[in-house]
Chain A
Amino acid sequence: MTTQHDDITSVVFGFDPLITATVILCLAYVFIISERINRAVISLLGAGLLVIMGVLNQDLAIKGIDFNTIFLLIGMMVIVGVTKHSGVFQYAAILTAKSVGANPRRLLVALPVLTAIFSAGLDNVTTVMLVVPITLLLTEQLKLNPFPFLLAQIFASNIGGTATLIGDPPNILIGSAVGLSFMDFVYNTGPLAVITMLFQVIVFDLIWGRKMTTSLRARAHLLRYDANEALTDKVLLYKSLFVMGLVLFGFVYGHGHGLEPGTVALTGAAFLLLLDIYKLKAEKQTEKVHKAFHEVEWETIFFFMGLFMLVYGVEHTGLLAMLGQMMLDLTGGDMFKTGMLILWSSAILSAVVDNIPFVATMIPMIASTADQMGGKEALTPLWWCLSIGACFGGNGSLIGASANVMVAAFAERSGNRISFVKFLAYGFPFMLCTIAISTVYVWLVILPS
């Protein structure tokens, strides 16, 4: 087994570093999956244990943290956190509803599509937190069953998030570790996301949409909603849109000029804060900045930090190279077979477990096979398979993705509980279909290129 002897630390009691790191990682994963204890607490404790036990030292542990991802997450969380106070997302949802004349069948197309578009630019959880309340209002006003709408938005958030680098955490992790750019995702997973959304729209229309009706009076009521009134802060809106435009520009063109997403996002966030506070007195400035940083999901950030360290522990001690070799032995190094193995196994596993630890572990594992697969560049199709599998797989069960859990919570609170089994009955087959579509896509589009 390969260990770097120049910076090896010695493990307490003379334990084998690889086994120690693996045991700590497995224990952490068991706790994270069982959800008995907060995942950020687990991952930090696990990482701490790695250092205390001597598997890593602090320098190595810090080296294992992907700060590009961390900065990207923090930056985007601040930007979205500030932007949402302008009411722009409610505005877009109401405008969308009115533009289809509040026709239920068309709403079942329009709202999920809107959700998918938002998800491509924002994280999925924030997207559904912004769109679901409006959806619940609209379905209540039109006296429609909210279930198909909520289900469609869960699927749409996971599908839309697959299309871009920043749409879903697996993509951020993969893109950052491997050096894939914003446009790389748009060109490779983007078209698949569009095709899959089309599939979703058709399926939902066949099952629910074409039977949906509502009274003309209810629709007329909804059409009286004044979307402009949802924009509670127009000045903030313009500032936010301006900064988001800059950030998007930075994502698209920065990669070729050595400007990574982490820098773009965090600097963009700082710039947006500047625009928001520069006219204010010091005390008010502090208050606003304090509130803005409050919008960052620190629990998620610390979870990621701990996770990076945990995974680095097993990577550093050679476990992942071992597993990578096992994978190659299984597929004989054949690109298509390896891709399919990754696509289908990540999809099914992502449906069952939190896809972030899974993807974080898979990345170094796949990377370790570079030499046998023809070099780093040759691995590219495998990254797309991992991304697609991990993102689409989230649709497989209620716990498959954080956005699913968030929507389920809203559903429960509003008296429209979605049970685990009910979701599984729709979600799992749907997910399998999307992976089947992806298989064809990978075979026809990704592998040849």
Chain B
Amino acid sequence: MSCKQALVKDVVLIKPDVTISDALKIIGDHEIRAVPVVDNDANYYGMFSIHSLMDDLLPVAARIAGGLSDLSFLEGGGPGAAKRIRKLAPMPVRAVIQRQGDESNLHPDLPLLETIRRLYEYGSPLPVLDQHNKFIGIVSEQSCLNFLMSMLADIEKEEQQQAG
């Protein structure tokens, strides 16, 4: 039982040089939470989502390590954040995404339970990379749940057969 079982290969992807405003449109049109950023050689750059953008809307002082951890005092910061969107819009997605640490990049043979644990810890969806670090597909909370539900259905059928 590995993460292969919950793998989704048919996935919307975007190239690293796509602008942020286009990427946001793609997310909106497909009604997805995040989109993997992958180039023509299946190299994985990171996951783009509105979540990843949130950090970039904050002032620099709040984004850096050791920076401000509470902005409750900052009244009237709206226009500043709005203007930051304007500044970000024409930039390529590769400028704002980061490849997360190794733990959030899954490999196809990762046991299912560990896959679920990582989804819980690092968020959903997570990329699945092969042994050459090339992008194969994603695993999401939904795909895991779907697989488990179908497995549960099989288990219940078997239990009924045994009882009957």
Q: Which residues of A contact B (CB under 8 A)?
A: 87, 90-91, 94, 129, 133-134, 136-137, 140-141, 221, 224-230, 232, 409-410, 413-415
CB distance from A129 to the nearest CB of B (A): 6
A410 neighbours in B (Cβ, 8 Å): 64, 66-67
Which residue from chain B places its CB closest to the CB of A411 in the assembled complex?
B64
A413 neighbours in B (Cβ, 8 Å): 64-67
Q: Are B61 and A129 in contact, CB atoms less than 8 angstroms apart?
A: no
8 cross-chain pairs, A with B, having the tightest CB-CB distances, nearest first: A137-B61, A229-B72, A413-B64, A136-B61, A229-B73, A230-B73, A224-B76, A224-B75
A137 neighbours in B (Cβ, 8 Å): 59-62, 68, 74
A230 neighbours in B (Cβ, 8 Å): 70, 72-73
- Docked Cα-Cα span, A225 to B75, in Å, equals 5
Q: Are A87 and B66 in contact, CB atoms less than 8 angstroms apart?
A: no
Q: Are A414 and B60 in contact, CB atoms less than 8 angstroms apart?
A: yes
Indicate if B80 sits at the interface (CB-CB under 8 A). Answer: yes
- Docked Cα-Cα span, A136 to B74, in Å, equals 14
Q: Are B66 and A415 in contact, CB atoms less than 8 angstroms apart?
A: no
Q: Are B68 and A134 in contact, CB atoms less than 8 angstroms apart?
A: yes
- Docked Cα-Cα span, A82 to B74, in Å, equals 23
CB distance from B120 to the nearest CB of A (A): 22
Q: Are A225 and B74 in contact, CB atoms less than 8 angstroms apart?
A: yes
B72 neighbours in A (Cβ, 8 Å): 226, 229-230, 232
**Interface majority SS on A: helix, strand, loop or mixed?**
helix
B68 neighbours in A (Cβ, 8 Å): 90, 133-134, 137
**Interface majority SS on B: helix, strand, loop or mixed?**
loop
- Docked Cα-Cα span, A232 to B72, in Å, equals 9
Beyond contacts A90-B73, A133-B64, A133-B68: 13 other A-B pairs, Cβ-Cβ < 8 A, are A94-B73, A136-B61, A136-B67, A140-B61, A221-B79, A224-B75, A230-B72, A232-B72, A410-B66, A413-B65, A413-B66, A413-B67, A414-B61
B contact residues, total (Cβ < 8 Å) = 17
Which residue from chain B places its CB closest to the CB of A415 in the assembled complex?
B60
- Docked Cα-Cα span, A165 to B14, in Å, equals 59
Within 8 A of A (CB), among B46-76: 59-62, 64-68, 70, 72-76
Q: Are A414 and B64 in contact, CB atoms less than 8 angstroms apart?
A: yes
A133 neighbours in B (Cβ, 8 Å): 61-62, 64, 66-68
Q: Are A90 and B70 in contact, CB atoms less than 8 angstroms apart?
A: yes
B73 neighbours in A (Cβ, 8 Å): 90-91, 94, 225-230
Most buried by A among B67, B73, B80: B73
Q: Are A129 and B60 in contact, CB atoms less than 8 angstroms apart?
A: no
- Docked Cα-Cα span, A133 to B70, in Å, equals 11
> Could you jot down 30 A-B contacts, CB within 8 Å?
A87-B70, A90-B68, A90-B73, A94-B73, A134-B61, A134-B68, A136-B59, A136-B61, A136-B64, A136-B67, A137-B62, A140-B59, A140-B60, A140-B61, A221-B79, A225-B75, A226-B75, A227-B73, A229-B73, A229-B75, A230-B70, A230-B73, A232-B72, A409-B66, A410-B64, A410-B67, A413-B67, A414-B60, A414-B64, A414-B67
Q: Are A221 and B64 in contact, CB atoms less than 8 angstroms apart?
A: no
Most buried by B among A87, A129, A137, A413: A137
- Docked Cα-Cα span, A113 to B66, in Å, equals 22
CB distance from A227 to the nearest CB of B (A): 6
Q: Are B60 and A141 in contact, CB atoms less than 8 angstroms apart?
A: no
Contact for A221 among B60, B61, B62, B76, CB less than 8 A:
B76
- Docked Cα-Cα span, A29 to B114, in Å, equals 47
B62 neighbours in A (Cβ, 8 Å): 133, 137
Most buried by A among B60, B61, B65, B79: B61
- Docked Cα-Cα span, A303 to B49, in Å, equals 44
- Docked Cα-Cα span, A129 to B75, in Å, equals 23
Q: Are A232 and B70 in contact, CB atoms less than 8 angstroms apart?
A: yes
